[in-house]
Structure 1
Amino acid sequence: MSIERLFMRLRGLFGRGRVTYVDDSGPIQKMQVRANGLVTSDNRFRFADFGFTSYPPYGSDVAYGAIAGDPGNVAVIATNHQQSRPTGLSAGESMLYSQDGKYVYMTASGGIVVEAKGQDVVVNDARNVTWNLSGKLKIVAPGGVEIDTPEITTPGDIIDNSATNLHTMAQMRSIYNSHTHPVPNVQLGGPGTTTSGPNQTE
């Protein structure tokens, strides 16, 4: 092999281009890649890490390599979409994100942030869901909370109308079970001026 031919093969080992089409229907994703204004390659395999998959938007940057130096056997090894890539992360942080701005952000000091962009979050077919917390679980839901379940149990107390109510539901039951009422039009000084407690307690 001549030096010139070897140089051309080495120069063609790696390159960059832009995504013009994606076929995500098979066991391995295939892409159409435009290397420049004259060269567009079809059915280029795109290799991604196990456990992660994505559909890069058209126009995304790609880096590709020629397997065994064969320019006819090109595989995409990395992708990047400039317009939607989040910037400004700190050392050690990572983020899973989509083109429309949704993300799961693992921060260096602020925990984990999930941004749903006003869209639904759905968990399907979970047998059990357990949240082991060292602090408090807070839910802010202006539209209300709906729980479709045959039973709700807790070993602790429940307080409703917490902004004004000082008693737990257990305390209110105890108060109700022992409460009495004054009997009107009864001459004071004799027994029986108040009722007994309720016949049926809660």
Structure 2
Amino acid sequence: MNPREMAQRIMGMLVRGTVSRVNSATKMQTLQLGLLADELKDGMEHFEPYGFTSNPKEGSEGIGGFLAGDRSHGVVLVVADRRYRLPGLDEGEVAIYTHEGSKIVMKNGRIIEVECDEYRVVTKNYSVTADAYGVTAQAVAIDADTARSTCAIDAPDMVINGVSHAAHHHQEHDGPNTGGPL
């Protein structure tokens, strides 16, 4: 191989491209990348970090690698999408995000923020240990066979079977109506 061919191979080892198509049904996800000028490479294996996977949107950018400059079998080393990346993280912070705005941000100060429209946890056991625990919601529902508290519950009212215990009055054993709860 002459020096010119050698230089072309070296220059072609890493190339920037744009994602055209994704096949995420295979064990190793494959991408179609638009590379130099009119070069379209199909079936490029996308190497992702262990434990992490994504299905990049069309138009995402990737870095394709060709070992020894051989264009017959390329791999995609990383895919990024500047259209949806979360800007403005502080040094040391980490985030996982989607194009719709869902995100998990691990912030400095050991704070984790989760933002989404619906949050689901499916597990056999769920345990929270905290110094304080607060819920702010329009409605809260607990669907369980039993519920138990080891502490006093302070509530402005308790409604059981549609009956308010704060405003409920009834006649007490042929006597006067009861007052509200103490």
State the TM-score, normalizing by the size of structure 2: 0.83
1:49 corresponds in structure 2 to 49
Partner of 1:101: 101
Alpha-carbon distance in 2 for matches of 1:97, 1:78: 16
Give the aligned residue type for 2:137.
Answer: A
Structure-1 separation of matches of 2:16 and 2:27? 24
More helix by share: 1
Q: Name the residue aligned to 1:5.
A: 5
Distance (Å, rounded) in 1 between the aligned partners of 2:70 and 2:37:
21
Q: Who is 2:137 aligned against?
A: 141
Highest relative contact order (Cα 8 Å, sep 6+), 1 or 2? 2
Q: Could you tell me how far apart the structure 2 residues matched to 1:29 and 1:67 are?
A: 19
| Worse-superposed segment, 60-69 or 92-101 | 60-69
Q: Name the residue aligned to 1:175.
A: none
Q: How does 1:40-189 map to 2 (within 5 A)?
A: 40-109=40-109, 111-116=111-116, 119-124=117-122, 126-133=123-130, 135-142=131-138, 144-161=139-156
Considering fraction of residues, name the structure with more strand: 2
Instruction: Report the secondary structure of 2:75's partner residue.
Output: strand
**Structure 1 pair 70–36 and aligned structure 2 pair: CA distance change class (3 A):** closer
What stretches of structure 2 of length at least 5 have no aligned partner?
A: 158-171, 177-182
In the alignment, which residue of structure 2 is the partner of 1:166? none
Amino acid at match of 2:6: L
After superposition, the C-alpha distances for 1:99-129 in whole angstroms (9 at most, x for unaligned) are 111100001137111010xx221112x1110
Count the aligned residue pairs.
161
- Percentage of matched positions with identical amino acids: 27
Deviations 1:6-65 (A, max 9, x none): 111101110101000001111010000001331111111000001000011100110111
CA distance in 1, matches of 2:127, 2:153: 20
Structure 1 spans left out of the alignment, 5+ residues: 163-179, 185-202
In angstroms, what is the RMSD of aligned CA positions? Answer: 1.9
Identify the residue that residue 14 of structure 2 maps to in structure 1. 14
What TM-score, normalized by structure 1, do the two folds share? 0.75
